[in-house]
Amino acid sequence: MVRWMKRRSLLCSSTNMSEATDPKLNEPGETAMRPTEARDLVRARLYSSEEEVVRDALRHLLRARPDAKAHVAVHRYQTEGLSLAKAADLAGVSWAQMREILLEKGVLPRLGPETLEEAQQEAQVLRDFSAGR
């Protein structure tokens, strides 16, 4: 947490960032501060790569915005075929809560096999598992 706070204070400190002239935003002779970019944090040796900056930023964003975590979990449930349990884990909620989130968003939870073949395969896996005990 301290490491992140140090990084955040660096982000907010104008003395640590380059300035560039932007005639649209300032009077002649004044400078405008450009936004901090991932490469600035790498060059300041706070991170080893821009990829690491992005991963850390996403981790903090998702921690601060549980609604975003749930939204991403619903999206991945729909597009990647995640199981309900995996989507719940990704969203940081219980299986029952994830089921409710899906229903609130108009997504019908996939429960059980969708075809007879899938049901037969699941039954065979259970028989094999029971026989091995």
Cα–Cα distance between 40 and 98 in angstroms, integer? 38
Element (H, E) at 20: strand 19-20
Domain match, 40 and 97 both: no
82 and 107 together in one domain:
yes
Q: Give the number of domains in the chain.
A: 2
CA dist., res. 24 & res. 89, Å (int): 47
State how far the alpha carbon of 121 is from the alpha carbons of 80, 81, 113, 124, 133, in Å.
Answer: 21, 18, 9, 5, 19
One domain, residues 58 and 71: no
Per-residue pLDDT of the chain in tens (133 residues, 90 and over written 9): 444 444 444 444 433 444 444 445 556 666 788 899 999 999 999 999 999 999 999 999 999 998 999 999 999 999 998 888 889 999 999 989 999 999 999 999 987 777 788 778 778 877 887 887 6
**Judgement on whether residues 78 and 56 belong to the same structural domain of the protein:** no
Whether this prediction's pTM lies above 0.75 is answered by: no
Q: Do 56 and 92 belong to one domain?
A: no
